[in-house]
Amino acid sequence: MSKGALYGIIAIVVIIIVIGAALAVYYYKPAPSKPSKPTSSVSGTFTWDTIGDPQTLDPAEAYDTASGVVIQNVYDRLVTYHGSDTQTIYPDLATNWTVDSSGKVWTFHLRKGVKFSNGDPCDAQAVKFSFDRVLIIGSPQTGVSWILSQFMYSYNKTTGKWNSPDGESSVRVIDNNTVQFKLREAYGGFLPAIAFTVASIVDPKVVNAHGGVQPGQDNDWMSQNMVGTGPYKFVEWKHNAYIKLEYNPDYWGGWEGKHFQYIMIKNIPEVATREQELLRGDADMAYIPINHLTDVEGKSGVTVNKGGLTYDVDMIEMNCRPTYENKTNPLNSKLVRQAISYAIDYNTLLKDIYKGYAIQMQGPIPKGMPGHDDNLFMYHHDPQKAKELLKEAGYANGFTVTLIYNQGNDVRAHIAQIVKEDLADVGVAVQIQELAWPTLLDKMDRGDYSMIIVGWAPDYNDPDDYAFPFLASYQIGGDTYRTGWHNATVDKLLMEAKYEVDQNKRAELYKEVQQIAMQDPAFIYLAQWKHVAVYRSWLQGYYFNPVMMLDFYHLYKGE
Amino acid sequence: MLIPVVIGVTLITFTIAYVIPADPARAWAGQKAPPEVVEQIREKYHLNDPLYVQYYYYISGLVRGDWGYSHSEHRPVLDCLMDYFPATFELTIWAMAIAIPVGIYLGVVSAVKRNKIPDHLSRIFALSGVSMPIFWLGLLLILIFYTYLGWFPASGRGITPSHTYTGLYILDSILSLDFQSLASDIWHIILPAVTLSYATLAVMTRMTRSSMLEVLRLDYIKTARAKGLPDKIVIYRHALRNALIPTLTVAGLAFAGLLGGAVLTETIFSWPGMGRYAYHAISTLDFPAIMGVTFLMAVIFVIANLIVDIMYAYLDPRIKLGE
């Protein structure tokens, strides 16, 4: 290469950088680091630095948090929650509803004059179409349609008919503004279940114009695009980078008061980058894990909101099968599982690992959720009692177990270390295994484990969403964690509670279930996370509800 | 050459990916999916079939232009690659545009001024480049140029150009005469490009220095000097041309390597590129995505090597193509 050519390359690079920088300064104005006064009631951009890219934007298939937050704000459902209140269900697209004495027939009267963001009317046909669509597609990738199919008539892909006595689906159009649900089973958690994103109302015209509804198949267009009746409309999705929403001027809820005009959800995997953008004011809100909170706490202009309890829980599941690896499984003994529950030093875990951002989990149903029992027995750290129970079970000399957690989860890695030390104190040796998530799931499915640290987050606000997957046996569709635990009484009580519509009776049934579950534990109930949100102090209108995603509509930039 | 390499690479990757002791259908469906959904996925994607049958399905799809379905993104692999590859390609081009001229220049200066201050400085610079963790450098640059000075942004690719022709934002901005987007995109790419370039730049410097030192000792350089040619002519026209051959080999491989290995830079600067996609695909056992990325990388490595071979012939007339 000649000297001239080399200089040429260097010159070109320098010129491009200089021109680029000049143009950048000239054209591009960075987001102001101080709040600007809104010029109208709908103005500005809410920038949220978070993690994770949605898997799909189609409510019929979405089952992850990143998808859920976008769907919740772009689509509406028949019913919803308001603010932090988890006890009352409020109208959304339905203005009121009635239920018959059997609890199987629900009639919803719809809000009149609601339109999708493209101008199409949202009526009873759209409601029927949306629910039928979820059940016809059957969420072939995630299985989320189970939330509806547990109480609605299912669709037979082979015959093309509904599995109901009259061959019709559960949803019937009474008139343009009235729909009726004829449920297969009266379900105690019906209203909370249809407040979940899977029950979002989509535009039939839009779906039919883009591939329609194919049994057992996802709609590719719907997975990448959205047209809803919600406060925000979809603008752009750059995968792994951001999702942009814009306010829907025709939103039926109106735009009184202050609101953001644009919403920018940025996917920023590195916590340090999120922190810096928050501190400089380029992000209005950022996801900061608890072990990084000290980086932002006390900084000027930053609010760390610690109000409320989530329904996110951590547990250690135990393999309850009689044998494991062709040997007698000590964890098959109820006494041994009790002993291990007594061996754990919960207070140390909460203080050192959860840094005070969790409470001890009181049984399978989280605190705050209907059906939770505030007086339920809880295990506490009692190594002496644990040793006695082990002796009684015939394991005075202890035994060895493996404890698995998923790779990359720092909190669980630390939990494993503490549990190892705690169990060593009572003579049980623990071998810790860090496994990739898919390998862990595979071992769980095959029952090839002793103990695994697991977590659960809510789908909807009902105890059935916790008690059934944890405690019902595999034979009746439960045991999501494959513990192999089986109690015929609990199975009977759980089925009864599932289809009981009297909420007081349900609460009694769940109380009994929880008492049995604590005396014969298949899980070590570790922690229920507290809520933490980090945002700029200029952000107003924020609230937290454990069964809802972040609500953009009520947010605005204060003075 | 391309066909056997690609077949070999896909076969090896396919075998390794599929013998991992885990159930991909379970990983794709998620923890809460009912067992019947997991079984449907197994059936639909032939996961119950023997490995060679699955490989047959994959290759026959590939030949028809069907790269498979990316389960982590719920869309075709080809769509994902068309989104992510241009982002990584653009970043890599800029990183190489910094690394090659600067690296070569520093290497030459270092060799010519051997054991003098410029040489020591250049060697310290190169040594820190090869030993500094890339994520640390990235965070340091964010702290200095974003947090304290506010000169450059910390994340993203900038404003999307008004028209998309290639997926390369800067090129698309120029083609669509969208100067606001051009400014924003250049502004956004500088920190990640500098971060990504540093390690390669350091290797280029060291490589150029050592090969220059060898060449400068050769007789024809002495002859050139004896003829009374100016130093600059001797160094840049006579010595550097021969010294560039090993540097060029490294540059070619580094270019292909950066395309696949930009995951840390992409993570720190929230750059929506192929490295992050590949990492996510691996951690979720998204086999079609893993295969797609591997296949693309294999093709790129072959092409990069081909270009390097052609450049050899240009730099050294003794090397002839086709022999």
Domain definitions of chain A by residue range: 40-267+532-557, 309-530
- At B1 the pLDDT is 66
pLDDT band per the 50, 70, 90 thresholds, residue A408: confident
Q: Which stretches within A194-333 are classed as H helix?
A: 204-209, 220-224, 271-280, 293-296
Q: How far is CA A443 from the centre of its chain?
A: 23
Residue A283 Cα, gap to closest chain B Cα (Å): 11
Last residue of a domain, one of B46, B66, B86: B66
Q: Which CATH architecture has domain A309-530?
A: Roll (3.10)
Instruction: Answer yes or no: do B26 and A218 touch at CB < 8 A.
Output: no
Beta strands per DSSP E along chain B: 69-70, 75-76
Interatomic CA distance for residues A358 and A363, integer angstroms? 14
Interatomic CA distance for residues A338 and A379, integer angstroms? 8
Interatomic CA distance for residues A347 and A16, integer angstroms? 59
Across A29-35, average pLDDT: 44
Are B98 and B245 members of one domain? yes
The reply to whether B73 falls in a domain is no
Helix (H) or strand (E) holding A490: helix A488-498
Are B24 and B165 members of one domain? no
Are the C-beta atoms of A54 and A67 separated by less than 8 Å?
Answer: yes
The reply to whether B228 falls in a domain is yes
The reply to whether B254 falls in a domain is yes
Q: In terms of residue numbers, what domain contains B182? A: 78-274+287-315
Across A206-220, average pLDDT: 94
For the CA atoms of A281, A285, A290, A294, the dihedral, rounded to the nearest 10 degrees, stands at 20
Are the C-beta atoms of A69 and A549 separated by less than 8 Å?
Answer: yes
Interatomic CA distance for residues B81 and B266, integer angstroms? 15
Across A22-45, average pLDDT: 56
Instruction: Answer yes or no: do B155 and A56 touch at CB < 8 A.
Output: no
CB contacts of B112 in chain A (<8 Å) are none
Q: For domain A40-267+532-557, give the fold.
A: D-Maltodextrin-Binding Protein; domain 2 (3.40.190)
The reply to whether B304 falls in a domain is yes
CB contacts of A142 in chain B (<8 Å) are 29-30, 32-33, 37
The reply to whether B279 falls in a domain is no
Interatomic CA distance for residues B24 and B285, integer angstroms? 6
**A contact residues 36-65, partner B, Cβ 8 Å cutoff:** 49, 53, 55-56, 61, 63-64
Is the predicted pLDDT of residue A393 greater than 90, yes or no?
yes
**Residue to test with chain B: of A19, A27, A271, most B Cβ within 10 A:** A27
Is the predicted pLDDT of residue A40 greater than 80, yes or no?
no
CB contacts of A10 in chain B (<8 Å) are 101-102, 105
The structure tokens listed for A29 are 């104005």
Question: Which range is least confidently modeled, A23-32, A143-152, A339-348?
Answer: A23-32
- At B306 the pLDDT is 84
Are B148 and B245 members of one domain? yes
Across B304-313, average pLDDT: 82
Q: Given A17, A140, A241, which is nearest B37 (Cβ)? A: A140
Instruction: Answer yes or no: do B72 and A27 touch at CB < 8 A.
Output: no
Residue-wise pLDDT for B160-172, tens only, equals 999 989 999 999 9
Are B23 and B142 members of one domain? no
Across A8-37, average pLDDT: 54
Instruction: Answer yes or no: do A142 and B72 touch at CB < 8 A.
Output: no
Whether chain B has a CB inside 8 Å of the CB on A434: the answer is: no
Last residue of a domain, one of B66, B87, B108: B66
Q: Strands A523-530 and A539-540, how do they pair?
A: unpaired
The reply to whether B124 falls in a domain is yes
Mean pLDDT for chain A?
91
- Three-class SS string for A401-448? EEEEEECCCHHHHHHHHHHHHHHHHCCEEEEEEEECHHHHHHHHHHCC
Are B89 and B59 members of one domain? no
The reply to whether B104 falls in a domain is yes
The structure tokens listed for B171 are 């090129």
Are B113 and B82 members of one domain? yes
Residue-wise pLDDT for A182-211, tens only, equals 999 999 899 999 999 999 999 999 999 999
**A contact residues 14-33, partner B, Cβ 8 Å cutoff:** 16-17, 20-21, 23-28, 30
Are B229 and B265 members of one domain? yes
Question: Which range is least confidently modeled, A41-50, B10-19, B115-124, B209-218?
Answer: B10-19
Instruction: Answer yes or no: do B184 and A28 touch at CB < 8 A.
Output: yes
pLDDT band per the 50, 70, 90 thresholds, residue A39: very low
More confident: B6 or A431: A431
Question: In total, how many domains does chain B have?
Answer: 2
- At A30 the pLDDT is 46
Q: Given A27, A241, A445, which is nearest B156 (Cβ)? A: A241
Are B153 and B302 members of one domain? yes
Are B294 and B225 members of one domain? yes
Please give the model's pTM, rounded to 2 decimal places.
0.89
Across A471-496, average pLDDT: 94
Last residue of a domain, one of B44, B66, B88: B66
- Other C-beta atoms closer than 10 Å to the C-beta of B7 total 12
CB contacts of B232 in chain A (<8 Å) are 3
Residue-wise pLDDT for A128-168, tens only, equals 999 999 999 999 989 999 999 999 999 998 888 999 999 99
Chain A residue nearest residue B235, CA to CA:
A3
Is the predicted pLDDT of residue B18 greater than 90, yes or no?
no
The structure tokens listed for B213 are 């030192």
Q: Given B30, B154, B236, which is nearest A3 (Cβ)? A: B236
Interatomic CA distance for residues A178 and A124, integer angstroms? 6
Are B160 and B293 members of one domain? yes
Are B6 and B132 members of one domain? no
Are B164 and B203 members of one domain? yes
- A174 phi, psi to nearest 5 deg: -90, -50
Residue-wise pLDDT for B57-94, tens only, equals 888 888 898 999 998 888 999 999 999 999 999 999 99
